[in-house]
């Protein structure tokens, strides 16, 4: 397959389906900029995975858009929940929360494997998607989700143990 035929197939796919995919995403998000980024990401994925002899159809593109939207919304919800939990903690014990929480989080993060810690930092602090984290770490998005799930479970267990020990000392 020549680069020219690959580019031609992609341009045809893009021209035929950009408006549909873009409208689909915009109807589900209020932020135009993010909607456009997600639609563009759908076509980035299509470019990477395309086979000119077996082009993607509208259904595949919309399913990919739906998955990208789900990833975006899941990250947004998790970040919001984390911010709300931290705000509640600060309201409950503002004088002790900062230092205690930072030390507990530091200790819990230190207990993670390097790749787990990096996956968490790239996801929550840098705002990368699982695809992007996978690209940075040299693994598939599914492996990133597995790392994140395990890392979050370890953090919950470690922070839970620290809270139990801290509660017994008070």
Residue 9 and residue 53 in contact, taking contact as beta carbons nearer than 8 Å: no
Residue 72 and residue 31 in contact, taking contact as beta carbons nearer than 8 Å: no
pTM: 0.54
HSE-CB at 83 with a 13 A cutoff on CA atoms is 8
Residue 134, SS3 per DSSP: helix
Cβ-count burial of 118 within 10 angstroms (0-12 exposed, 13-18 middle, 19+ buried)? middle
Residue recorded with tokens 């390097």: 114
Dihedral angle computed from the Cα positions of residues 30, 32, 38 and 39, in that order, rounded to the nearest 10 degrees: 120
Q: 140 vs 112, 116, 134, 147, 154, CA distance in Å? A: 20, 14, 5, 11, 21
pLDDT score recorded for residue 170: 38
Domains and CATH numbers, the chain: 1-73 (1.10.1740), 93-170 (1.10.10.10)
Spell out the per-residue pLDDT of the chain, length 170, in tens. Answer: 455 788 888 999 999 999 999 999 999 998 899 999 999 999 999 999 988 778 788 899 999 999 999 888 887 887 777 777 767 766 766 555 566 667 777 788 888 888 998 898 888 887 888 888 998 899 999 999 999 999 989 888 887 776 666 554 43
Q: 127 vs 31, 52, 70, CA distance in Å? A: 16, 33, 15
pLDDT score recorded for residue 89: 67
């Amino acid at each position: 397959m020549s680069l020219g035929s690959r580019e031609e197939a992609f341009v045809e796919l893009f021209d035929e389906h950009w408006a549909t995919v873009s409208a689909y995403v915009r109807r589900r998000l209020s932020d135009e900029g993010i909607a456009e980024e997600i639609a563009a990401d759908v076509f980035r994925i299509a470019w990477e995975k395309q086979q000119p002899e077996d082009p993607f159809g509208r259904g595949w593109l919309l399913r990919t858009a739906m998955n990208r939207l789900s990833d975006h919304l899941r990250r947004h919800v998790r970040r919001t929940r984390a911010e709300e939990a931290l705000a509640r903690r600060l309201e409950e014990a503002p004088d002790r929360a900062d230092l205690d929480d930072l030390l507990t989080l530091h200790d819990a993060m230190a207990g993670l494997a390097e790749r787990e810690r990096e996956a968490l930092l790239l996801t929550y602090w840098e705002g990368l998607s699982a695809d992007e984290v996978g690209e940075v770490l040299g693994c598939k998005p599914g492996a990133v989700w597995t790392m994140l799930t395990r890392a979050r479970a370890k953090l919950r267990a470690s922070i839970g143990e620290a809270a139990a020990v801290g509660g017994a000392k008070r």
